[in-house]
Amino acid sequence: MSKAMIKINNLSKRYRIGAKEQSYRTIRETIMDGLRAPVRNLAKLRKLTEFKASDDEEDVIWALKDVSFEVNEGEVLGIIGRNGAGKSTFLKILSRITEPTSGSIEVHGRVSSLLEVGTGFNFELTGRENVFLQSAILGMQKWEIKEKFDDIVRFADIERFIDTPVKRYSSGMYVRLAFSVAAHLEPEILVVDEVLAVGDISFQKKCLGKMSEVARRGRTVLFVSHNMDAVQKLCTRAIILDEGRVVMDGPTDEVVSRYLGEEMNYAGQRIWSDINKAPGSGMVRLCAVRVLDQNGKACTSFDVRDPVSIETEFQVMEEGHRLVVQLHFVSEMGNVLFISNNNLDSPWRDTACPQGHYRAVCHIPGDFLNEGKVSVTCRIDTVGLYHYMHVMERDLVRFKVSDRMDPAGVRGNYSLQWPSGGIRPRLPWTVEKAC
């Protein structure tokens, strides 16, 4: 039985997300409010660092709630979860950037975190100077850096430019150098957050190699990622965080497949029955979002040839806003496939909406989406002279698009696996024999 390197006991972290801003439309209201603002601002800013016993205050959220688990020596632990699940907060506490509200972490060993590669780089300094600065920020001593300097530069592959100011680097060179510094730390516990999103493919491979090398040497690695492939390749064990709690802890394969499966178990609709708890501002709130098939029924599974409709219901509580409802379609891997606004065909395009209940439906034609899992983010903004955002809710509904290999679709006679790509639209082609 190997020894526990990290022991997390009932860890909780509370954040104040900032009281809601009110907005004013008349000049008089704006001026009066401006005069009163200092008092209100002071109260608001003071509250940033003060918490009262009443926990259910509206603007307080628990990013982590009673999280407990252990990580053993030599283990490579993947931490997965949706945005806002508490992953980054956990890493921030572990790397001592912020402190927990309650609970504790016992750590045996030096922790180095790659929360964001390249923080602390100064663009005016040369590559060489930055290597020293960055290494020191990450906790290395001068002699340690001198010893590893040549390796760092060689790994980043920028020997020629090491005495050039970093501001003249290409972004690829910059990222390579930054990662190279981080990769040469020799921590007993390495914390990695999404760094693989940067750099080109060959460099990413280099990074993954480095991480597994660190793991092979018996070091403990905590890896936070949305990239399930990488998690499956690198980690021996994984946990799922959801709304600040650990919902599953086990071997990577099981955890990842449950996570991906669970993602799809999200219903094709989200409804807020209590308007006061619905997401939104004092002016506009979201009431419901649904994925509908061509018969108007809620549905989560579509064929590539089927049309998909996304219906959004919202309540306008204050008149006088020209509103734009925007839907973001996001792939399973977290890429935005495309974004659509209601603006173009909306009768409200140049008209302010009176109070009331509204329904906006976005029609996605058949033969447009590619195979895969799609998650929908909804955003509602006031446009015009004053632009503000009322609603920005990620991952509201999800649906799956699959291909039944029907030659009537875009696929035609192409019988292989359809290549990747966010969409698979039906486009007009002309093909003729030129001579």
Partner 1 sequence: MHMIIKPKKGLQLVDFKELREYKDLFYFLVTRDIKVRYSQTVLGGLWAIIQPFFSMIVFTLFFGVLAKVPSDGIPYPIFNFSAMIAWTYFAGAITGAGNSLVGNAHLVSKIYFPRLIIPLTPVVAGLLDFSIAFVVLVGMMLYFHIYPTITVLFLPVLIILMMLAASGIGMFLAALNAKYRDIKYTIPFLVQLGMFASPIVYPASMVPEKYHLIYALNPMVGVIEGFRSILLGTVAFPTEMFLVSALISLSLFIIGLLYFKQMERYFADII
Which residues of the shown chain bind partner 1 in the complex (CB under 8 A)?
15, 45, 48-49, 92-110, 113, 115-116, 119-120, 122, 124-125, 129, 132-133, 136-142, 165, 188
Task: Record the tokens describing residue 242, joined without a space.
Answer: 């959801």
Q: How far is the CB of 249 from partner 1 (least distance, A)?
A: 20
Phi/psi of residue 348, nearest 5 degrees? -95, 10
For residues 180 and 171, give the distance between their C-alpha atoms in angstroms, rounded to a whole number.
Answer: 14
Q: Which is nearer to partner 1, 109 or 282 (CB)?
A: 109
Give least dist CB 214 to partner 1, A: 17
CA–CA gap between residue 243 and residue 86 (Å, rounded) = 7
Closer CB to partner 1, residue 65 or residue 373?
65
- The CB-of-11 to partner 1 minimum distance in angstroms stands at 9
Q: Which is nearer to partner 1, 104 or 402 (CB)?
A: 104
Q: How far is the CB of 88 from partner 1 (least distance, A)?
A: 10
Angle (nearest 5°) at CA 416 between 411 and 417: 85
In the bound state with partner 1, the residue whose beta carbon lies nearer, of 106 and 254, is 106
Closest distance between partner 1 and the C-beta of residue 143, in Å? 9
Helix or strand or coil: residue 303? strand
Task: Give the span between the Cα atoms of 365 and 341, in whole angstroms.
Answer: 15
Q: Are strands 301-303 and 322-331 parallel, antiparallel or unpaired?
A: unpaired
Q: How far is the CB of 107 from partner 1 (least distance, A)?
A: 5
Q: Judged by CB, which is closer to partner 1: 94, or 369?
A: 94
Which residue's CB is nearer to partner 1, number 136 or number 389?
136
Beta-bridge partner residues of 338: 329
Provide, rounded to whole angstroms, the least separation between the CB of residue 259 and partner 1. 26
In the complex with partner 1, the residue whose CB is nearer, 188 or 403, is 188
Q: How far is the CB of 128 from partner 1 (least distance, A)?
A: 12
Residues 420, 229: contact at Cβ < 8 Å? Answer: no
Q: Measured on CA atoms in the order 413, 416, 419, 424, is the torsion positive or negative?
A: positive
Q: Crossing angle for the helix pair 201-216 and 171-183, nearest 10 degrees? A: 0
Residues shown for the chain: 435
The structure tokens 């002071």 sit at 42
Looking at the Cβ atoms of 122 and 420, the one nearer to partner 1 is 122
CB of 171 to partner 1, least distance (A): 17
Select from 313, 295, 299 the least CA-distant residue to 266. 299
C-alpha to C-alpha distance for 267 and 399, rounded to whole angstroms = 8
Q: Taking the complex as a whole, how short is the minimal distance between the CB of residue 146 and partner 1, in angstroms?
A: 11
- Nearest to partner 1 of 137, 267 (CB atom): 137
Distance CA 202, CA 175 (A): 13
Q: What tokens does 409 get?
A: 């679709």
Nearer to partner 1, 193 or 306 (CB): 193
Distances (CA, A) of 68 to 7, 100, 188, 335: 8, 13, 21, 31
Q: Hey, what are 372's tokens?
A: 């895969």
Nearer residue to partner 1 within complex by CB, 195 or 380:
195
Nearest to 156 by CA among 203, 218, 195: 203
Between CA 10 and CA 64 the distance in angstroms is 9
Round to whole Å and give the CA distance between 11 and 105.
7
β-sheet bridge partners, residue 308: 364
Shortest CB 98 distance to partner 1, Å: 4
